[in-house]
Amino acid sequence: AKAAGRDTHRFYAEAMNAEAVAHLSTRSGLRRALERGEFLIHYQPQVSLETGAVTGAEALLRWNHPEKGMVPPGAFIPIAEDSGLIVPIGAWVLAEACRQAARWRDQGLSLSVAVNLSALQLQRSDLVPTVTRALADSGLDPLLLELELTESMLIQNTDLVMENLRRLKAMGVQMSIDDFGTGYSNLSYIGRLAVDKLKIDRSFVADLTRSHDSAKITAAVIQMAHSLNLTAVAEGVEDAGTLEALRVLRCDVAQGYYLGRPGPAEAVERAARQVNPF
Ligand code: C2E
Ligand code: CA
Ligand code: CA
Ligand code: CA
């Protein structure tokens, strides 16, 4: 019976493809990473197109793996979502990002921090308590915390999701729609959810100076944002020409490699202390 058990085990092990095995190791790796403090956050500056000042930063998760080095989120967030580990990992990101923004405030810098939420977090009843705790523990003003949601996360607008968004909004937390223009085309949620910002997807922004269509879409999103009293943010700004085009279109805020790559908090601090990075 023992041998049969081993054979069965071997059969399943061999039947699993390499990808599944890699997933398994990453899943236990992720749990260990959280326990051992292997996660860190890189921050990418967001710059006002009107004043040139750094107004905030997006928190982007990194895994400093003991053997593989710095692992980008695309390589492990899907696994963290499948295994549910995104919930404790996401809670850590929220707490750490709020602590960082509070440190900036203590240094005399008024910078907001934008945190990416996963669909799973938005669908849970512990989201509001988690955000409340991150704000209370850090002492951060809720107005300086921004949560980035994607359009696809709002398709499942269950009562719990709506209630979470309503309560976060009532606390003063800012809401931003990430990758805007790539998802769901029913825009009715924008008014209903009291969204504050639209982040124009980088696929439009990257083509802005080369494609008439991308330029028209970007212009239309900026106009729509303004007519709804929302802030328009462009992500993926990689060159001076794109930055200038966005200024002409009266976009409010820009983010991208040209203005600053994601990096340690100190890089954002240095940029924020410069009077005018343009
Ligand atoms: P995102 O929210 O759309 O984040 C922007 C991504 O674009 C980041 O990739 C950033 O490094 C990259 N980027 C910024 N500027 C430029 C540019 O000028 N050109 C180009 N080509 N890329 C630029 P990153 O850090 O690899 O993150 C990828 C995705 O992982 C994020 O996309 C977000 O969806 C997810 N993510 C990151 N951190 C978290 C987190 O804490 N929680 C959750 N749930 N998701 C996260
Ligand atoms: Ca984002
Ligand atoms: Ca984005
Ligand atoms: Ca994205």
Convert the pLDDT of each residue in 114-171 to its tens digit.
999 999 999 999 999 999 999 999 999 999 999 999 988 887 778 999 999 999 999 9
Whether the predicted pLDDT of 1 surpasses 50: no
CA angle 258, 261, 266 (to 5 degrees): 125
Asked if 257 and 31 touch (Cβ cutoff 8 Å), the reply is: no
Q: Tell me, what's the pLDDT at 154?
A: 82
With CA atoms as reference, report the closest residue to 199 among 229, 155, 230. Answer: 230
pLDDT tens digit string along 242-270? 999 999 999 999 999 999 999 999 999 99
Q: Is the CB of 256 within 6 Å of ligand 1?
A: yes
Alpha carbons 29 and 8: distance in angstroms, whole number: 25
- Ligand 1: residue of 89, 93, 116, 204 to mutate (most ligand atoms within 8 A of CB) is 116
Query: Which ligand is the nearest neighbour of the Cα of 262?
Result: 1
Phi, psi at 37, each rounded to 5°: 70, 40
Nearest to 151 by CA among 114, 123, 119, 121: 119
- Ion ligand 2 neighbours, Cβ < 5 Å: 116, 148, 178
pTM: 0.92
Contact 127, 113 (CB under 8 A): no
Looking at residue 117, its pLDDT comes to 98
- Who contacts 131 (Cβ-Cβ below 8 Å, separation ≥6)? 94, 145, 147, 168, 171, 173
**pLDDT score recorded for residue 2:** 45
Distance in angstroms (rounded) separating the CA atoms of residues 89 and 77: 10
Q: Is 127 helix (H, G, I), strand (E, B) or coil?
A: helix
pLDDT at 22 over 80: no
**Mean model confidence pLDDT for the chain:** 90
